[in-house]
Every structure is written in structure tokens, then in C-alpha cells.
């Protein structure tokens, strides 16, 4: 005779697999949406920036006739000068051009007298897309021309141009291609756990509040089986769908990284068997924690819609530590490994940066999250013994 635990688990798995719409929205979409959108966005942005950086620069200018030598310099650099009239501010506001370079009214007189000659660069720093690439290229050309003229003036006076550099900075960038790639993948912990939470959401709701609403929970509990085994079977099915979403998300990232322009960005992302194995090790306990927590919240709800509202709020839980580690200069400490979800974020960030992971910290992450997950699962089982929470009426 089959165990009630196994029977209930297989029942929930089969029923959920039959619901194609739910399966696509909770598992496939949760697993594929993040990697696909990220890959497309990165390729589009990098493509736009490369086109701007490599194509001939079109520079909208005003009053360029007052700076003949500067005009000649720009033309020698392959810049296509475009004379524009009207207000430079309005041109930028109307998004007719990314930037406008206006030669100052007293440019010629100041330049001839050896005084700093003013040019005005109009742009919108908050502009989207590759507009900032154009601004950087224009500013770089102006600085290049200014430095060459300044050096020439010093040489004509018999002075070495290096005299203007009292201190020289020698840069030593200790970052690696993998650590730079980690900057771009800083959101990875949240995407992985978001997909995990989404994968188990529907089943956690349907096996509790959904069965209450359909009045199918009472006949199930009339069977000669312990309630603890019934709920354990439901929790196991919920956990398996969360774990399945996690595996699919990891596969999607492993595949999509081959389509990311890492070489063009001077970055590297390593997601081999070793890295994926570590990710599964630290994230599978989160699947248990998520399924138990979602089941507890859904148990207190009387209808499917009510449970959906409350359970969806749980998605914000993995967001907090992920955002904190992205924007705050937090130095990793061993105690962080004992905090569920925060510990996973720390380990994943170390992994994608190519840093060594402390074995003690790894064990602490897994055990602490597993312990909390088992505790929440025990609480969920205990709730099944309370009649007032099991029926909608």
C-alpha cells in the first residue's frame, strides 16, 4: 500500500501539470522571463553604444565660424559638423540632437590673447539610450584640442608641457574580467529566488485556499490518513515545483550567457558545473523555506484570490537583501551566512566574482536556511490541526 504522503504529493503534481496555463505562467515564465529579458536588453544597449562609439561623429555646432583652427581640428578627426540655429536648450529638450556645442561669442579674442576660450556644451544628462556616448566623445575631442594647443604654447615659450603636471597618477586596477562581469550580474540572486518563489506560488495557494474555496479539502481529510502526511505531501509537491523553476532558471542563464556580449564589454561570466552545483546547493533550502512560508500564509486565507494577494507580497522578501548588497558597500561577514536569503545573496555574489567561498560559511548558509525551512514546514503542519483555519465557512 502506497504511503498517503506519496499519494497526495503525486496527486498535486499531476493536477498542476495538467493545468497548462498555470504551468506556463508560474514555472516557464518565472524561469525564462528574467534571463531572456536581461539578455535582450544588454545586447540592445551594448549594440546602440557601439554604433554610437564606432560610427562617424555628427556634432551639432553653433557659431563655429569663430573658431577656425578648432573647426579644422574636428574635421581632421573625421567629425561631421552640423550647423544648427535657434536655442540650444530647445534643441536638446525636443530631442533633435543628443548634444550641441556652441562656440562662445568672445572665443576668437580670448584664444588670440592666450586666455581660456569658452565653448558651451548643451546636453541632457538624464537622456536614455546612447546619448551619453555622444557627449563623452565631444568632451573628449574638446579636451584633446585644448591640451594640444596648451602644449604648443608652452613649447613656443621654451617650456616643457610636463611642467603642468605636478603629480601623475599611476592607475592599478585590481578588478578582473570576472569581477567586472559580476557588477552586471548583481541582480542574479534576486532573479533566481524570484523565479523560485513564483514557481511554488500557485501550488501553495491551490492546495490550501483553493481547496477551501472548492470545498474539496474536507473530503480529503476524511480519508484514514494523518493530516501531517497529507500536508507533507502537499508541501513536497510545492517544493518540487519551486525547485524545478530554479533548475530551469539556471539552465536559462547558462544558455543565455553565450549570447551576452561579454568580450565587447571586457567582462567574463563563469557558470560551469561547479558554479551551478553550488547555486543548487545553497538555493534548494530556499525552495523549502518559500513553499512552507507560502503555505502558511495561504492557510490563513479563505479564498484563492485573497491568498494570491497575500502570497504575492512574499516576493518582496528576497528583494530586500539583494538590493541592499547592490547599492550599499557592505563587507561580507560570517554571521551573514546564518541569515536565510541574505546568506544566499552573499555566496552567489562571491561565486560570480570568482572569489573563494569559505566552506564553513557555505555549510552555515545551507544548514541555517534548511533549519528555518523545516521549522516553517512544522508550523504549516501544525496549522492543519486547527479546524478554524481549514474551512472557508
Nearest-5° Cα angle at 183, 339 to 365: 20
pLDDT tens digits, one per residue of 137-169: 899 999 999 999 888 888 888 888 888 777 878
**Is the model's pLDDT at 97 over the cut of 80?**
yes
Higher pLDDT, 52 or 377: 377
Is residue 285 pLDDT above 90, yes or no?
A: yes
Query: Which one has a higher pLDDT value, 282 or 221?
Result: 282
- Evaluate whether the domain defined by 58-169 bears CATH number 3.40.1710.10: yes
Closest CA to 321 of 295, 347, 354, 294: 347
Query: Are 276 and 250 a contacting pair, CB within 8 Å?
Result: yes
Angle at 370 between CA 368 and CA 376, to 5 degrees: 105
Q: What residue ranges do the domains of the chain occupy?
A: 4-43+178-390, 58-169
In DSSP terms, which residues pair with 203 in a beta bridge? none
Q: Look at 53 and 173; give whichever has higher pLDDT.
A: 173
Question: How open is the CA angle 240-246-247, to the nearest 5 degrees?
Answer: 90
Confidence band for 317, pLDDT divided at 50, 70 and 90? confident
- What is the average per-residue pLDDT within 123-139? 81
d(CA 3, CA 376): 23
Residue 136's pLDDT band (cuts 50, 70, 90): confident
**Residues 6 or more apart in contact with residue 334 via CB below 8 angstroms:** 358, 360, 361, 364
pLDDT tops 70 at residue 1: no
Q: What's phi and psi for 123, nearest 5 deg? A: -160, 170
Residue 392 has pLDDT above 60, yes or no: no
Please check the confidence at residue 185 and state whether its pLDDT lies above 60: yes
Confidence at residue 284, expressed as pLDDT on a 0 to 100 scale: 92
46: its cell numbers: 551594448
pLDDT value at residue 101: 92
Q: Across the chain, what does the average pLDDT equal? A: 81
The partner residues of 123 in beta bridges, in order of sequence, read 99
338 close to 371: Cβ distance less than 8 angstroms = no
pLDDT at 165: 77
Res. 387 pLDDT band, cuts 50 70 90: low
pLDDT digits (tens, 9 = 90+) for 328-343: 767 778 888 888 988 9
Cβ burial 48-62 (10 Å sphere, 16+ → b, else e) = ebeebeeeebebbbb
Q: 3-class DSSP state for residue 100? A: strand
Would you state the pLDDT for residue 73? Answer: 92
The whole-number pLDDT of residue 151 equals: 87
pLDDT given at position 372: 94
Q: Is the pLDDT of residue 172 over 70?
A: yes
| pLDDT value at residue 61 | 92
Helix (H) or strand (E) holding 60: strand 58-62
What is the sign, positive or negative, of the torsion defined by CA atoms of 369, 372, 374, 377? negative
Give the H/E segment covering residue 58: strand 58-62
Give the sheet arrangement for strand 99-103, strand by strand.
80-83, 58-62, 99-103, 119-123
Amino acid at each position: 500500500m502506497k504511503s498517503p504522503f506519496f499519494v497526495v504529493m503525486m496527486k498535486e503534481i499531476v493536477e498542476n501539470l495538467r493545468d497548462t496555463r498555470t504551468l506556463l505562467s508560474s514555472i516557464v515564465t518565472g524561469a525564462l522571463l528574467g534571463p531572456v529579458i536581461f539578455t535582450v536588453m544588454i545586447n540592445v544597449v551594448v549594440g546602440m553604444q557601439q554604433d554610437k562609439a564606432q560610427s562617424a561623429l555628427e556634432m551639432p555646432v553653433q557659431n563655429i565660424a569663430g573658431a577656425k583652427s578648432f573647426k579644422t581640428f574636428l574635421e581632421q578627426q573625421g567629425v561631421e559638423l552640423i550647423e544648427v540655429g535657434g536655442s540650444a536648450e530647445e534643441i536638446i529638450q525636443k530631442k533633435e540632437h543628443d548634444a550641441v556645442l556652441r562656440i562662445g561669442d568672445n572665443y576668437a579674442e580670448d584664444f588670440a590673447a592666450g586666455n581660456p576660450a569658452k565653448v558651451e556644451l548643451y546636453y541632457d544628462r538624464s537622456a536614455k539610450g546612447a546619448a551619453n556616448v555622444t557627449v563623452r566623445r565631444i568632451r573628449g575631442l574638446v579636451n584633446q584640442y585644448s591640451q594640444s594647443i596648451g602644449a604648443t604654447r608652452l613649447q613656443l615659450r621654451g617650456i616643457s608641457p610636463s611642467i603642468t603636471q605636478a603629480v601623475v597618477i599611476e592607475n592599478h586596477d585590481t578588478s578582473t574580467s570576472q569581477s567586472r562581469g559580476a557588477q552586471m550580474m548583481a541582480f542574479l540572486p534576486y532573479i533566481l529566488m524570484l523565479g523560485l518563489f513564483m514557481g511554488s506560488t500557485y501550488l501553495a495557494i491551490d492546495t490550501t485556499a483553493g481547496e477551501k474555496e472548492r470545498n474539496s479539502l474536507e473530503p480529503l481529510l476524511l480519508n484514514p490518513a494523518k493530516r501531517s502526511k497529507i500536508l507533507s505531501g502537499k508541501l513536497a509537491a510545492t517544493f518540487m515545483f519551486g525547485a524545478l523553476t530554479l533548475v530551469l532558471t539556471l539552465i536559462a542563464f547558462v544558455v543565455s550567457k553565450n549570447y551576452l556580449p561579454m568580450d565587447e564589454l571586457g567582462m567574463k561570466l563563469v557558470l560551469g558545473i561547479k558554479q551551478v552545483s553550488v547555486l543548487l546547493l545553497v538555493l534548494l533550502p530556499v525552495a523549502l523555506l518559500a513553499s512552507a512560508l507560502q503555505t502558511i500564509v495561504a492557510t490563513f486565507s479563505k479564498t484563492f484570490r485573497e491568498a494570491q494577494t497575500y502570497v504575492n507580497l512574499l516576493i518582496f522578501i528576497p528583494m530586500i537583501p539583494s538590493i541592499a548588497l547592490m547599492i550599499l558597500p557592505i563587507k561580507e561577514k560570517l554571521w551573514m551566512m546564518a541569515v536565510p536569503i541574505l546568506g544566499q545573496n552573499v555566496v552567489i555574489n562571491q561565486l560570480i566574482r570568482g572569489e573563494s567561498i569559505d566552506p564553513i560559511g557555505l555549510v552555515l548558509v545551507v544548514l541555517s536556511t534548511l533549519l528555518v525551512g523545516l521549522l516553517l514546514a512544522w508550523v504549516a503542519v501544525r496549522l492543519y490541526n486547527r479546524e478554524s483555519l481549514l474551512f472557508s465557512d
